[in-house]
Amino acid sequence: MNLIGPNLRAIRLQCSPAVTLEDLAGRLAARGLYIDRTSLGRIERRERSVFDFELVAIADALRIDLLDLFRSPKRRASGK
């Protein structure tokens, strides 16, 4: 149902320290977006769609460029 699920998981776990689903849910809540850890897990498994405003908040919460959620790991590393 979405393109970003596997990338979201990879990016979240590559953070130092790794960001848990609960941590990410808290970061989103601090930005006024309430997505619980179960729903975040469903996004990562491509079982839930993601709205554009949710993508912006997720990228902001992880301090990444929005396009990184759509890039392959190889392209994220090169910045392309």
- pLDDT (tens place) for every residue of the chain, 80 residues total: 899 999 999 999 999 999 999 999 999 999 999 999 999 999 999 999 999 999 999 999 999 999 999 997 766 666 65
- Provide the CB-side half-sphere exposure for 65 (13 A, CA): 9
46 CB-contact burial (10 Å; exposed 0-12 / middle 13-18 / buried 19+): middle
CATH number of the domain bearing residue 62: 1.10.260.40
Residue span of the structural domain in which 32 resides: 5-71
Domain assignment of residue 77, yes or no: no
| Bond preceding residue 73 cis, omega within 30 of 0 | no
